[in-house]
Amino acid sequence: MQTAENYQPKQIISKFNQLYIQTRSKYLVQFPNGRYVTFNRKRDRRHIVLNDGMLKKHLAGELTYGVFNGGYFNKFITFDVDFSDHAMARWATYKLLDVLVTDFHILRKDIHVSISGGKGFHVDLFFDEPLPTTEVETFYQRVVSSMGDITDGQVEFRPNWNQGVKLPLGVHQKTGRRCWFVDSHTLDPIESFDYLLDIEPMDATIISEQYFGLTDEQAQEFEAVALETNLSVNAFDQSKALQKAARILEVGRLTESNTRHNTTFILACFFNSQGFEREEAVEAIMEILLNTPREYFSKGSTPDHWRKEAVRLTDYAFDNDMTIRDADKAIRIYKSEILAVLQCGTFRQKQMAFAMLVTAKRYGQTFYLTTKTAMEMIGTKSRQTVQNAIRALVEGGFIEYRRKGEIDHAKTKETGQVRHKPNKYRLLIDEPPEDDPLIEVTNDYSLVDVAFELCDVREIRQYVKRYEYDNRWRR
């Protein structure tokens, strides 16, 4: 028997990455008490992403990890054969293998079975092209239907975005069993980590009649896997996506030819970050596409198709709460900028100015800021407070409208109610001088924190009325 001490994990981990890993931001961990916990960095930024060091711990049996599919595509399917009785689990697995080979013409060499760690088995198929999850689920339903009635157990579809699957070759933390692959004819364990190295993905068209023309790399990009991935080998500079979004918003059209699909997805994630409603995001994307010269699009591409794709990709980004933020990246705030903020009237107006400043730092001098997001940023439930503050900032020359109150005629006609396009703003304050004091801040910093870091009390009180200072600023 091969043990965790007498093999080299680097190749095994590389094969895990190739075959199983689709998203690193969300994953399962099974702890020694047998309990499973889901970690999701998109929900809690304190969670670290699934990385190669964790996979090494998995192989060593220290902890056991599982994966999700990323949301929209599957690069593999697991039939999770779950029975309380081991003999029944073996029977159901044999039945499943027979259906896959006889009814669906899957080659035996492309079917890979492993011990689940309890009394069941996992039956895996790996695809040479990522397939839409809807296609894979349809295939699963056809297979299970062909198996007929199964009593005292179930065969479940894994993985999707809500239900993960435990990786093989680790140790089930409750039973202590190593989850070896097994011989697909006898279901006897193959006690070697090296089995994984010989697995090659099967032809995806065997189970799907619809070919999407996506490479594995392109599908992973669509899933935004690279936004939060292995820091050593798969790092993706999120700032590039932000820079691209900011540039497109600045010029109001595509900046490169044949980039509609990728740009639509980036903007959908960006608008989700900014608190847009879905319909607002779609209309903002369509405005950019319609302003783009037709030679930037592939031959035969039509606005009707653009809109369908904009709706689909926006729904995907919003449904999975996909964002482009750089929320953990520190930004530089200069003393001259804070002094400009301090001159902006009431405390709420100063807060709004600071929120505008931070937004411009993250997303570019020209930016969107919805009322909903602004309310969250300054801690108010009053839309009127936000609108009054923005009006005061415009009148005071801190920002300007790049678009305000523009009616969305298409949406108005569709809904029968007057709908407006999102407002667009531009920051107007001067660039900081070269020797201007600065600090680097994250989202944990408030306006008061930054002001006291960069300014002394005398400077703050010069722009803050006594009652405001006593109520809001005094430390």
Give CA separation, 146 vs 130, 149, 208, 347, in Å: 24, 9, 17, 67
How far, in whole angstroms, is CA 326 from its chain's centroid? 13
**Rounded distance between C-alpha atoms, residue 227 and residue 238, angstroms:** 6
- Long-range contacts of residues 52-55, Cβ cutoff 8 Å, at least 24 apart: 52/13, 52/17, 52/230, 52/232, 52/233, 54/27, 55/9, 55/13, 55/16, 55/17, 55/167
| Whether domain 9-206 has CATH 1.10.1200.10 | no
> Under DSSP, is residue 178 helix (H, G, I), strand (E, B) or coil?
strand
* Helices and strands per DSSP (H, E), number in the chain: 17, 15
The residue type of 417 is Q
In the CATH scheme, what is the code of domain 331-473? 1.10.10.10
Helices (H), 196-343: 216-222, 238-251, 260-273, 278-290, 303-319, 335-342
Are the CB atoms for 225 and 22 separated by under 8 Å?
yes
Are the CB atoms for 156 and 141 separated by under 8 Å?
no
pLDDT at 151 (0 to 100): 66
pLDDT at 410 (0 to 100): 59
**Rounded distance between C-alpha atoms, residue 46 and residue 28, angstroms:** 16
**Rounded distance between C-alpha atoms, residue 32 and residue 226, angstroms:** 30
* Domain range list for the chain: 9-206, 237-319, 331-473
- DSSP per residue, 366-378: EEE--HHHHHHHH
pLDDT at 221 (0 to 100): 44
pLDDT at 4 (0 to 100): 52
Q: Identify the residue whose tokens are 């202590």.
A: 176
Torsion angles phi and psi, residue 389, rounded to 5:
-65, -45
pLDDT at 229 (0 to 100): 25
**Rounded distance between C-alpha atoms, residue 66 and residue 373, angstroms:** 34
Opening angle at CA 57, ends 52 and 61, nearest 5: 145
Are the CB atoms for 152 and 88 separated by under 8 Å?
yes
Are the CB atoms for 296 and 254 separated by under 8 Å?
yes
Q: Which string of b and e fits 317-355 if b means at least 16 CB within 10 Å?
A: bbebebbbbbeeeebebbbbbbbbbbbbbebbbbbbbbb
Give CA separation, 171 vs 3, 124, 140, in Å: 12, 18, 27
- Chunk the chain into consecutive blocks of 10 residues (it has 475) and report each block's average pLDDT, rounded to whole numbers: 63 92 90 88 83 92 92 90 89 94 89 92 93 87 85 85 94 92 94 93 76 47 35 35 73 80 83 83 91 83 89 82 62 93 92 89 74 80 90 93 77 70 84 92 83 92 85 74
pLDDT at 262 (0 to 100): 75
Q: In what side-by-side order are the strands of the sheet with 189-190? A: 153-158, 73-83, 121-132, 112-115, 181-182, 189-190
Opening angle at CA 249, ends 246 and 253, nearest 5: 125
> Under DSSP, is residue 427 helix (H, G, I), strand (E, B) or coil?
strand
**Rounded distance between C-alpha atoms, residue 253 and residue 187, angstroms:** 58
Task: HSE, CB side, 13 Å, CA atoms: give it for residue 167.
Answer: 34
Is the pTM higher than 0.75? The answer reads no
Omega within 30 of 0 (cis) for the link into 159: yes
Here the tokens at position 264 are 């639509």
- DSSP per residue, 107-145: -GGG-EEEE-SSS-EEEEEEEEEEEEHHHHHHHHHHHHH
